[in-house]
Structure 1
Amino acid sequence: MKVLVTGANGQLGYDVVKRLEQNKIGYLGTDIDTLDISNEEQVKRVINDYNPDVVIHCAAYTAVDKAEDERKLCYAVNVLGTRYVADSCKETNAKMVYISTDYVFDGEGDKPFEVTDTPNPVNYYGQTKHEGELEVQKSLEKCFIIRISWVFGIHGNNFVKTMLRLGKERDELSVVSDQIGSPTYTYDLAGLLVDMIQTEKYGIYHATNEGYCSWYEFACEIFRQAGIDIKVNPIKTEDYPTKARRPKNSRLSKELLYEFKKLKKWQTALKNYLNSYEMR
């Protein structure tokens, strides 16, 4: 098996490459310097030349607030780039894994969103990721669409790293307490993706670590596990205005995912992450 990974230098792509190596699966890791996914000719050339069995498409524009202003760039990467990758997968008969997001939903209510629920994004980033899903479905039958949330990994920036940094700089911190979701460790997620691509169980899946929490609860657990003494104040979304609106309910139903496996509880995943982080 040969796998091409886009966005291999990103938070998830980094762990996907690591997991492929561990499984002794041949791969080509690409990033913006070797594959600009918004360049159609380049996408076709690179994918055709490598002729992979699977493309794991991790590359994306993920600056949620900036996306509200940089709409053209966000669209070029998340929609057009995904279209070019999907079209090239169709030409080469490759499977495709498309990484999507909880942000395709509006966050209303308090029930976990099912894979069959109708997307209704409340920000432009979420809109482009939903349109990316449609591009993949339009071109391919051999595809996995994986919606993820609240990712953290060793490589790249994330909420955990930010909290660890602020915990050293401050005595007190305020964190939003009315947005609920599931933290997801990229190392666990990458292992799942590598298992998936060796099957033909195509479709839409929600993939996160087990359990739900608020950002406030997530922060408290980070500080507890890291042994950092800091006062954390819960605040409402309205008290922390951002350019892009965030969904308050990011709970994702994972019933279909259990055909493969359950990922670890998010607290356990955080513990494993912090252990890896300290060993670096």
Structure 2
Amino acid sequence: MFYQGVLTKMETELAQPIQYYLVFETDFLNMNQLLNKTLHLKFVKYQCLHCGLNKEIYRQGFCKSCFFDIPQAADWIMRPELSTAHLDKEDRDLTYEKKVQLQPHIVYLANSSNVKVGVTRKSQVPTRWIDQGAHEAIEIVEVPNRYLAGITEVALKDHVADKTNWRTMLKNDIVDEDLVVWRERLKAYIPEEAQDYFIENNAETHLEFPVNQYPKNPKSLNIKKEGSYSGKLVGIKGQYLIFDDQTVFNVRANEGLVVEIGVD
């Protein structure tokens, strides 16, 4: 059976283990049901997630012209401390920026390859942790806007990592940490503007991923360069498909690519 559509990040459902869904325009696949089956991937063309045109994807699923124009790709997306909607100041589209920035945000600690700090909208918990392949996470601050979350993250980055090592995450070469202890350790470094939003009493969230076999030496698949690939699916973690020959495919990093998927 064959399916075709433009890649967007897999939808997820918190369960034991996490359920993954690849959603196309007219089809969706429960990826958990494809474990131990052979998948055939083929690159077909590009389809920008904003304009829909067959133009080479630049970043985040958008073609270059869209990336430098639309509010969904502005600098404050990746650097929340640059948010300005709370000042009623427009970057690219104030209406959109107010909608996204002026809502509750969480500063969290997650352990995927190591303990790291991150920011997400409250509505994206625990989705953000799943996408990062974290096996445990905890909220440490809940603030009313993206700017406060951003400056808190910047302050904490001096004392804890802010990046995930994708190879370590996929190899599952990780150590359990007591994130409550980490939360208390970092409390003193939270900026004064956000101190009142510190979360005193909560517990870690533990996440279980559908992986039958972790790769010892993961190799990233460049489907644009290779054109096609076939392999047996043995796991899913973060936004990665893991195959039995240690090939891994980052679905989110390939957003905006139209692919054909065959299943044996």
Q: Aligning the two structures, in what range does the TM-score lie when normalised by the shorter sequence?
A: under 0.3
| Higher strand proportion | 2
Task: Give the TM-score of the pair, scaled to structure 2.
Answer: 0.26
> If you compute each CA radius of gyration, which structure gives the higher value, 1 or 2?
2
| Higher helix proportion | 1
Q: Does 1 or 2 have the higher relative contact order (CA < 8 Å, sep 6+)?
A: 2
Task: Give the TM-score of the pair, scaled to structure 1.
Answer: 0.25
